[in-house]
Amino acid sequence: MAATIHHTLSVLVENKAGVLARVSNLFARRGYNIYSLAVAPTDDPALSRITVVVDVAPELLEQVVKQLHKLINVIKISELDPADSVERELALITVQAAPAARHQIIELTEVFGGRIEDVGFDELTISVAESPERLDDLASLLAPYGILSMQRTGRVALPKLERTPPPGLRIAG
């Protein structure tokens, strides 16, 4: 078996019953695991975007993408290279926070750009929207305090924007 790596596919589909089942079935019938999944309508409510992270060998990915294209309800597919895209996941984490430790946890949360969502007597629930790697880092840092539960959404991603200005462009001002 060839090595599998995570691939992020952004699939624009019609926002209709059964479409997600069609998409996930293409992975399931080939024995490929869906690692993470996020689905929501786009700015056009007739369309949804499925962001799916799959474990699949690169040489097999092309065939899956072509098969996805064959689905009648699929409109567009792009593969997002992690190096060339902005990826975010949201995590909700409930962590043990005795009054003495609370301050350190709040500080960590701030460093990661998160928020305290809920405060209990000796627990805190925090939310952080970050790249998957940064969320892993935060989880490791919180682990010693005692993570009581953690829920992560599927990953959403968009390609990075073009940085070189078109030739001849002059910025006024």
Residues that bind another protein (CB under 8 A): 13-14, 17-18, 21-22, 25, 29, 62-63, 66-67, 69-76
Place of tokens 């805190």: 124
Nearer to another protein, 50 or 93 (CB): 50
Using N-to-C axis directions, what is the helix angle for 99-111 and 132-142, rounded to 10°? 160
Tokens of 133: 């790697």
CA-CA distance, 88 to 136, in Å (whole number)?
Answer: 12
Amino acid at 147: I
On whether the CB atoms of residues 59 and 79 are closer than 8 A, the answer is: no
Nearer to another protein, 46 or 169 (CB): 46
Smallest separation, CB 69 to another protein (Å): 7
Smallest separation, CB 155 to another protein (Å): 23
Smallest separation, CB 26 to another protein (Å): 8
Nearer to another protein, 27 or 112 (CB): 27
Residue spans of beta strands (DSSP E) within the chain: 5-14, 34-41, 47-56, 74-80, 85-96, 115-119, 123-130, 147-152, 156-159
Smallest separation, CB 19 to another protein (Å): 10
Nearer to another protein, 45 or 168 (CB): 45
